[in-house]
Amino acid sequence: MEMTATQGGRGRPREFDPEEALAAALQVFWRRGYDGASMAELTEAMGITKPSLYACFGNKEALFRKALDLYERDKLCYIKSALEAPTAKGVAERILRGSLAIQTGGNDPRGCLGVISSVGGTAHAESIRDEIMARRASSDRALVERFERARAEGDLPAGVEPQAMACYLTTVIQGMAIQAGADVPRERLEQLINTTLAMWPSN
């Protein structure tokens, strides 16, 4: 990963791994949101100083966007494979369980980075919100298309709108992200997923 245009053989090589530093930054943004993450907390977690951070990543906003890229690539990759499930209900189950795995698994913070960083916050962070909204819109579109295919394949009951089911599923996932962030135990969230799937419409 080429973090900057320079760093080309000549001169002193940097002493840290940009990938590791970015992963550490992601943890902080994930816990605090964009506004809540301070440069002091970021640099401490990344193990580098501020000038190193600015030289390598640009500024706070650019760092956040790169962290968002990493988040989508490493954490949200389950969505792409979930859409390949054979049935609409299978898609829903894979997405719900995948989402739960991220939000309560490993040593990562609980909750969803996108939700945390797009809610509330100061006035001068609106470009961040716009960025997140745009990414979420493209993800939503893919889900709607998948459910439209499901209806065409007779996989969704007649009266059920694909767009409505996509919006519903998104809502449950985002609600689950809030619950996870509020330290609702994992078993309860698994119960929530089972409840949701038990009510999923079928013919």
Partner DNA sequence: TCTACTATATACCGCACGGTATGGAAATGA
Partner DNA sequence: TCATTTCCATACCGTGCGGTATATAGTAGA
Q: Which residues of this protein are in contact with a second copy, per CB under 8 A?
A: 31-33, 35-36, 38, 41, 111, 115-123, 133, 136, 160-161, 163-165, 167-168, 170-179, 181-182, 184, 188, 191-192, 194-196, 198-201
Position of tokens 């135990």? 185
Q: What angle in degrees, to the nearest 10, is found between the helix axes of 126-152 and 162-181?
A: 130
* Out of 1, 8, 159, 187, the residue judged to bind DNA by CB under 7 A: 8
Beta strands in 141-196 (DSSP E): none
**Minimum CB distance to a second copy, residue 181 (Å):** 6
Nearer to a second copy, 122 or 203 (CB): 122
Confirm if 59 and 133 have CB atoms less than 8 A apart: no
Assess 2 for contact with DNA (CB under 7 A).
no
Pick from DNA, a second copy, none: which does 201 bind, CB < 5 to 8 A by kind?
a second copy
Distance set, CA 145 to CA 8, 12, 86, 96, 121 (Å):
44, 50, 14, 18, 32
Assess 12 for contact with DNA (CB under 7 A).
yes
- Binding span for DNA by CB under 7 A among 2-10, 113-121, 125-133, 172-180: 2-10
Site string for DNA, 106-125 (x = CB under 7 A): --------------------
Assess 76 for contact with DNA (CB under 7 A).
no
* Binding residues for DNA, total number by CB under 7 A: 28
Q: Is the dihedral of CA 179, 183, 184, 186 positive or negative?
A: positive
Helix, strand, or coil here: 198? helix
* Out of 1, 13, 154, 203, the residue judged to bind DNA by CB under 7 A: 13
| Amino acid letter for position 168 | Y
b/e map 155-183, b = 16+ CB within 10 Å: bbeeebebeebbebbbebbbebbbbbbee
- Binding span for DNA by CB under 7 A among 33-41, 80-88, 104-112, 171-179: 33-41
Please measure the distance between the N-terminal and C-terminal CA atoms of the chain and give it in whole angstroms: 48
Question: Which residues bind to DNA, rule: CB under 7 A?
Answer: 4, 6-16, 37-41, 48-52, 54-56, 59-61
